[in-house]
Structure 1
């Protein structure tokens, strides 16, 4: 399946947000303008690991890079970006631990679209249902509807992994 021109893959950055609640924070429970549809994309594990192994932190970190120039060169030469953002609770408040955001460009973006995507499910109605329960104060029922999420055993060398807490 071809979803765009080679030029599109080389210049756009597609962000994968594996955390349901972080995605709800980002899209405002599917209510933000131009973010009214929420899709769950199932991705091949081998592709996800490939992207992590071929990623660079999206920001300069002196503990990960010898200097800012080295980071900038690495960033330009890698097809994926890793960013660690605070995880969110049901009220979308920041939690004291971080969640992965994985940006794909170039080869990684092309492979994501053409090879690694296993399934796409519209979860907009689920997002709205959970949000309605949170608004009504029934957080137990809302939590029971959340998709199951487990810690992911990221491959050795995943950028920023040692500083995630």
Structure 2
């Protein structure tokens, strides 16, 4: 794991924005209801990402099957912070865990998983620092969908515009439209648990 793991996000005093990619059926239902409703599944882990550019890499800039609709989900920071406080990394780290057995036990028991992946530039290049993905387990999904979620916005049109600018090589125009993300601080115990080292 990189020594440079930092949460960067669009946030205010009460909320933080995470991004997800879905198909039309899930996205349209969520946008109509203002929260996640069926066909969104409450029975499987959902991965939320505060980095727009990392989701772009993951979804092929909104072109991969079932990932063509890009949603910005504004959730309560209280829910986000609570999730991080109980999260366990998806892989063992000798710097963080007492032993592999201790990590396996924590991983098995937790409701929240965290994975760090190389952050991406607007051009798709891997950057030195890592971006966080948070997997919300099915026992917390209802809370995420019904209590944490404050607003859902459709960023599919913005993504299409950015994709077009990238294809044309107009990276300066694209950069001006990117969601703004700033370092997001967590408490020391959470930082140590998740290997956050800005």
Q: 1:134-164: CA deviations, max 9, x gaps?
A: 11111110000001111111232223334x5
User: What SS does the corresponding residue of 2:69 show, helix, strand or coil?
Assistant: coil
Structure 1: stretches of 5+ with no match in the other structure: none
- What TM-score do the two structures reach when normalised by structure 1? 0.89
Structure 2: stretches of 5+ with no match in the other structure: 1-34
Q: Which residue of 1 is the match for residue 12 of structure 2? A: none
Change (3 A) 1:141 1:2: closer
8 Å contact kept, 1:17–1:23: yes
Matches within 5 A, 1:1-165: 3=37, 9=42, 12-158=44-190, 159-162=193-196, 164=197
- What TM-score do the two structures reach when normalised by structure 2? 0.75
Q: 1:89-109: CA deviations, max 9, x gaps?
A: 011211111111111104332
Deviation of the 1:41 alpha carbon: 0.7
Aligned residue-pair number: 160
RMSD: 1.8
Deviation of the 1:3 alpha carbon: 4.2
Deviation of the 1:63 alpha carbon: 1.5
Mapped to 2, the partners of 1:97 and 1:104 lie a distance apart of 23
Q: Which residue of 1 is the match for residue 30 of structure 2? A: none
Mapped to 1, the partners of 2:148 and 2:56 lie a distance apart of 23
User: What SS does the corresponding residue of 1:38 show, helix, strand or coil?
Assistant: strand
8 Å contact kept, 1:38–1:124: yes
Deviation of the 1:76 alpha carbon: 1.5
